[in-house]
Chains A and B, each alone.
Chain A
Amino acid sequence: NAGVTQTPKFQVLKTGQSMTLQCAQDMNHEYMSWYRQDPGMGLRLIHYSVGAGITDQGEVPNGYNVSRSTTEDFPLRLLSAAPSQTSVYFCASSYRSASGANVLTFGAGSRLTVL
């Protein structure tokens, strides 16, 4: 049981390049999300999905696209990277239940540097 797997762990891009951060989970979780973590800022929600075919914007969605074609995968696309997107990115998943105690399980993180 691998949990939440993110690739790559490290990436350096030039301004204007595009790339996709991959995220996969093997826990059959309905809910998946992407966060970015910047120094002194905590984690901020970029996009999230409550199930296959359903995505929505979070707190800081500009410059990022997502899709959810399967329950397992939730890739994050940067169409034209900017230095302001230099950050550590975390993918997370959780199972939706009625109790409210839906714990996010995080991937190991992907460190992206945009030059």
Chain B
Amino acid sequence: AQKITQTQPGMFVQEKEAVTLDCTYDTSDQSYGLFWYKQPSSGEMIFLIYQGSYDEQNATEGRYSLNFQKARKSANLVISASQLGDSAMYFCAMKHGNNRLAFGKGNQVVVIP
């Protein structure tokens, strides 16, 4: 069974600082994909970044980058230059089977001015 683990307690980060959110996963599949989603207090789920298991390079999307360490089965999200609007819950998810996503329990981030 696929499993995503996000165990960090709620995090406070100073505006303009970088923050790293940890995500480890467990799967026996050779081909899989890893996603990060953002959920602000308004409740919607916003896609941030994707990393395929065969991708050689770490994925980047603007201020978001994914530190993918396949041997350690980790896919940490790095947010650079934090902004107040980055305050949200962040979910790591793994794609398996027919587009099925298994989600972690999330990391709460609060950006302080």
The residues of A with any CB-CB pair to B shorter than 8 Å are 31, 33, 35, 40-45, 48, 50, 56, 58-59, 88, 90, 92, 94, 96, 99-106, 108-109
In the complex, what's the smallest C-beta–C-beta distance from A29 to chain B, in angstroms? Answer: 10
Q: Which residue of B lies closest to A40 (CB)?
A: B105
| Majority-rule SS of A interface residues | strand
Q: Are B52 and A42 in contact (CB under 8 A)?
A: no
- Name the 8 nearest CB pairs between A and B, nearest first: A106-B45, A42-B103, A43-B103, A42-B105, A31-B99, A100-B52, A103-B47, A100-B33
Please name 14 further chain A to chain B contacts, defined as beta carbons within 8 Å, in addition to the given A33-B100, A40-B105, A99-B52, sorted by A numbering.
A31-B98, A35-B103, A42-B4, A42-B91, A42-B103, A43-B91, A43-B93, A43-B101, A88-B43, A90-B45, A94-B99, A96-B98, A102-B95, A105-B47
Shortest C-beta distance, A96 to chain B (Å), equals 7
Q: How large is the interface on B (under 10, 10 to 19, 20 to 34, 35 or more residues)?
A: 20 to 34
Chain A nearest Cβ from B48, distance in angstroms: 10
Residues on B lying within 8 angstroms of A by beta carbon are 4, 31, 33, 35, 43-45, 47, 50, 52, 91, 93, 95, 98-106
The residue from A56, A101, A109 contacting B44, defined by CB atoms under 8 A apart: A109
Q: List 20 A-B contacts (CB under 8 A).
A: A31-B98, A31-B99, A33-B99, A35-B103, A41-B105, A42-B4, A42-B104, A43-B45, A43-B103, A45-B100, A59-B102, A92-B45, A96-B99, A99-B52, A101-B50, A102-B33, A102-B99, A106-B44, A108-B44, A109-B45
